[in-house]
Amino acid sequence: MRKTNTLKRPTLDEQFHFDTLAIHAGQDPDPSTGAIMTPVYMTSTFVQSAPAEHKGYEYSRSGNPTRTALETLIASLEGGRYGLAFASGLAAIDSVLRMFNPGDHIIVGNDVYGGTYRLFMRVFARYGLQFSWVDLTNLEAVQAAFTPQTKLLWLETPTNPLMTLADIQALCEGVPPGVLVAVDNTFASPALQQPLRFGAHIVMHSSTKYLGGHSDVVGGVLALNDEQVYNELKFLQNAVGGVPGPMDCFLVIRGIKTLGIRMERHSQNALKIARFLEDHQAVKQVLYPGLESHPQHDLARRQMHDYGGMISIILQDDEAARRMVSRTKLFALAESLGGVESLIEHPYSMTHASTAASPIAVDKALVRLSVGIENVDDLIADLRQALA
């Protein structure tokens, strides 16, 4: 006769370090088999013992055990109470914006991912949301932008692609009562920065990037503390339906297990490459918060545990930028970022093409690097020949 046990690990709390939480938070052995890895619950529906009597799950759009494991994990890593997983980073942002009504006002940093700009201005602006694009490094300008209708301050730090930092704590301390602060933490990951601890209300990630870390899944997540905001976002997650499948959730969970050590290597490689590029005659400017020349290097030291794997550089002109990105061998010419392999791109014509005719258009001479975890000497050699 088979003995039935409910296997449960001790509850994890903040006494554990980040790398331990990344492996164990939300991860309990399967109660029926003892399997140490979270199963992939490939099911669309769940059997009920009687009408409206179930074991916590009814339909996989509303909830799935594999997704619950990911949501618990991301909440723990960000130091939050609640997590929500979505089919993409933009699906996560979409749910945040759906909390607001026509006439509501949102302040946005004037350097953001092109997809965010497109979603805000070509989708939500059509339905009556008002947007102000503000330099978030200028706290006086931010204060001047608030109106009685302001409901949200949306920021990235570091920004994509200019690697500008926002002082999360200072911005959070300056918002009027009732205004939410949401931080896109994709570039840093929770391994390097935890915005909830600085006062943010919502943290968003494209889990496609560093969380997944292997360029094999598309997803998005939110982490937060406020129960009322969570309930509203949970409702929208189910009602709108932009949820990830269980296999996508499993891949992100698996990727997160090595997030800490990957971010160490990404950061080490990026700093060495940034210093190499800063000394190269073909490069006009290197944008990387780990460099002492970065205007917000001191803020990066206070706010981040390390500086991450993203670098932007400005070359002489558009032609030089296009030539460089076409000549690399190890750095693959591709959109996205945060994988173990190094990528290079030309934001003006690729990830930020949607901003080309806007006030936040990027420089045509800008090149963005997502530094992987390959041998750094090989990566530097590749960049040297591409710039020759």
Q: What is the pLDDT of residues 236-292, one digit of tens each?
A: 999 999 999 999 999 999 999 999 999 999 999 999 999 999 999 999 999 999 999
Cβ-contact 150, 178 below 8 angstroms: no
The yes-or-no answer on residue 61 being catalytic is: yes
Query: How many helices and strands in the chain, by DSSP H and E?
Result: 12, 12
For the chain, what percent of residues have pLDDT higher than 70? 96
The SS3 of residue 177 is coil
Give the separation between CA 257 and CA 261, rounded to whole angstroms. 9
Cβ-contact 205, 221 below 8 angstroms: yes
pLDDT class of 1 with cuts at 50, 70, 90 = very low
Cβ-contact 45, 64 below 8 angstroms: no
Question: What's residue 15's pLDDT?
Answer: 78
Question: What's residue 12's pLDDT?
Answer: 56
Question: What's residue 3's pLDDT?
Answer: 37
The yes-or-no answer on residue 113 being catalytic is: yes
Give the separation between CA 171 and CA 75, rounded to whole angstroms. 22
Question: What's residue 5's pLDDT?
Answer: 37
Give the separation between CA 269 and CA 306, rounded to whole angstroms. 12
The yes-or-no answer on residue 184 being catalytic is: yes
Is the pLDDT reported for residue 11 higher than 80? no
Provide mean pLDDT across the span 18-23.
96
Provide mean pLDDT across the span 196-216.
99
| 184 sits in which H/E element | strand 180-184
Give the separation between CA 156 and CA 289, rounded to whole angstroms. 14
The SS3 of residue 67 is helix
Q: Where are the domains of the chain?
A: 18-256, 259-387
Is the pLDDT reported for residue 173 higher than 70? yes
Give the separation between CA 94 and CA 84, rounded to whole angstroms. 13
pLDDT class of 10 with cuts at 50, 70, 90 = very low
Is the pLDDT reported for residue 351 higher than 90? no
Question: What's residue 14's pLDDT?
Answer: 58
The SS3 of residue 287 is strand
Give the separation between CA 157 and CA 160, rounded to whole angstroms. 8
Is the pLDDT reported for residue 356 higher than 80? no
Structure tokens at 372: 């992987």
- Residue among 28, 61, 322, 327 flagged as catalytic: 61
Question: What's residue 13's pLDDT?
Answer: 56
Is the pLDDT reported for residue 343 higher than 70? yes
Give the separation between CA 32 and CA 285, rounded to whole angstroms. 57
Question: What's residue 9's pLDDT?
Answer: 43
- Residue among 94, 111, 184, 382 flagged as catalytic: 184
The yes-or-no answer on residue 127 being catalytic is: no
- Residue among 41, 113, 117, 288 flagged as catalytic: 113
Q: Which of 30-34, 301-305, 358-362 has the lowest mean pLDDT?
A: 358-362
- DSSP letter, residue 162: T
Tens digit of each residue's pLDDT (9 = 90 or more) over 108-155: 999 999 999 999 999 999 999 999 999 999 999 999 999 999 999 999
- Residue among 151, 209, 262, 364 flagged as catalytic: 209
Question: What's residue 284's pLDDT?
Answer: 98
Choose between 21 and 32: higher pLDDT: 21
Provide mean pLDDT across the span 54-80.
96
* Intra-chain end-to-end CA distance of the chain, in Å: 72
Give the separation between CA 187 and CA 309, rounded to whole angstroms. 8
**Tokens 């709108």 -> residue:** 240
CATH class given for the domain over 18-256: alpha beta
Q: Please state whether beta strands 310-314 and 366-370 pair in parallel, antiparallel, or not at all (unpaired).
A: antiparallel
Average pLDDT of the chain to the nearest whole number: 95
pLDDT class of 51 with cuts at 50, 70, 90 = very high
Choose between 348 and 163: higher pLDDT: 163
User: Is domain 259-387 classified as CATH 3.90.1150.10?
Assistant: yes
